Structure 1
């Protein structure tokens, strides 16, 4: 049975009209979207019989942090959906409790000989780097996700430019507080062991130093993406001298918001964080949060599955850096 335009559209995540424009070589489609549509059409046999290489089934495993992080929960769901939607990939997701290099390394070691490709949200730790390189040398294709480790052997990184994300947060916070004299802010992060969190902090500090020297960082709280710890740390900042703004680099937004509401400070303290989830959407609506810097987990899931599947089959996809988007109450996208 011939592959239909509707099938290609469903697999590629675009409209049938977009597929029609691509297949008929008409203008009005971005280059990357055009590439995705053509690859899906080829894989589904639209242009003729699919080769044995294209039909090869790829065993894929993803290693993510466990916990209450809403963004990572969405990412897990989209990874499984993306793999399930393809006919050539089987996928498993493994979640590691805590910021624990021993557990993460053991899980990576256990995957040797059991998988073709691994996508990992990894701590930048010597032990973890060693296991990633050993896994790659065993023939497994590796890609980093959300937080990069530049020095390991991998086929690519899928995630935002985290240093740029931190600079964007600093610009927003600085503009919100500008003209109010010396201001004191608190910075929250999951762990410096994640290079992505470290890069966001570096970008944030750099733009404050360059453009907003009147803003002083009162303290940094490392909360392991735990909303209860974030709640307690926020109370400490609010109760011991007060703060004018908060930048949350990682997860734990719900704990920070609860503390701001408990101290009736949600309209006084500027609060900026990351990732549009059901929880942060509500915080924007009631103005507990002023802005959310978003990355799209659905797009990242699609891109890392494509990257790894192509690598296993002997072709290479370029690395893809999703665009950063700033979401305010006034421009919250529909679910």
Structure 2
């Protein structure tokens, strides 16, 4: 017995082959009634699509978007450079990449961008909010696969997450903070924004370990630096003026301001930051920064592209498809 074909689906649905093709490829220009008829015919016939063969024969072009913050922070620049570095290679594989910038932590602006997308799949680095989650659900319902990047949105119904385990990253930072700090003293925690899930997860992991094993150090209330170097510098100097700091855990960006502030403090606190950027690398070399927790942006963006392709083709993902390794850097191994 032969397997059902698209012609069988078209006959059952009483529509053209072109309409079936549009529905199967999530293209526009099809009425809701026709979509329902095609989907019902697919279920009735038992039609199973060989997407890999279809894409090969049709030379399908994939259209993937990366929605990431704009700005000149070191990590964002590395992320965008990693995407750009793959563009030519991906074009040879019929994969077109578009970078769509947004303002960091600007929920309204991010929602507007999500509503304007026209692509097969999208990788998002956005804030966590009910409005964003609603837009992710809408994109998924429209047939656009959604992958979260760096910061997860687990309640949104997204297809996959690509990034490090941020709770484990925070716990790791606390383990080293507790070992590096000698004696008692307060530790300052600086997040970019608590609307960003990666920041809140790192903060949670950090607090748990500090409270479990290093409670004598004490934690100051977390402050938000908006990933802005000037704001971070001001917050660090204000905290240091109130009392000597034993340690600083910088959860987000703005490390140029952090370095300027730490260089003005005597004695220098143990300082742990995220992402190996030119600023944090220089800070490691001159002793301003003690430890850097880094995620490989090239590995993350490459994984995001591959996952978007597999999802678009209807393939199942392995459980660890989006897991990115956490790397640790000190002065001696950069």
Q: TM-score range by the shorter chain?
A: 0.7 to 0.9
Cα displacement (A) at 1:264: 4.7
State how far apart, in whole Å, the 1-side matches of 2:97 and 2:210 are.
42
SS state of the match for residue 324, structure 2? coil
Q: Which runs of 5+ in 2 are unaligned?
A: 1-51
Q: Does 1:152 align with 2:156?
A: yes
Cα contact 1:186–1:245 (8 A) shared by 2: yes
**How does 1:73-152 map onto structure 2 within 5 Å?**
73-86=77-90, 87-111=93-117, 114-152=118-156
Partner of 2:61: 57
Cα displacement (A) at 1:312: 1.0
Partner of 2:39: none
Cα displacement (A) at 1:235: 0.8
Partner of 2:170: 166
Cα displacement (A) at 1:204: 0.2
**How does 1:157-236 map onto structure 2 within 5 Å?**
157-178=161-182, 180=183, 182-236=184-238
Q: Does 1:291 align with 2:291?
A: yes
Q: How many residues align?
A: 277
State how far apart, in whole Å, the 1-side matches of 2:68 and 2:279 are.
20
Pairwise CA RMSD: 1.4
State how far apart, in whole Å, the 2-side matches of 1:171 and 1:160 are.
17
Cα contact 1:124–1:195 (8 A) shared by 2: yes
Deviations 1:44-70 (A, max 9, x none): xxxxxx844144211011111122321
State how far apart, in whole Å, the 1-side matches of 2:60 and 2:311 are.
12
Cα contact 1:61–1:118 (8 A) shared by 2: yes
Instruction: Give the alignment partner of residue 241 of structure 2, picking from 239, 264, 273.
Output: 239
- Runs of 4 or more consecutive aligned structure 1 residues displaced over 4 Å after TM superposition: none
State how far apart, in whole Å, the 1-side matches of 2:235 and 2:123 are.
32
State how far apart, in whole Å, the 2-side matches of 1:92 and 1:264 are.
46
TM-score (norm 2): 0.80
Cα displacement (A) at 1:263: 3.4
Segment of structure 1 superposing worse, 244-253 or 70-79 = 70-79
State how far apart, in whole Å, the 1-side matches of 2:54 and 2:165 are.
36
TM-score (norm 1): 0.80
Q: Does 1:304 align with 2:304?
A: yes
Cα contact 1:79–1:305 (8 A) shared by 2: no
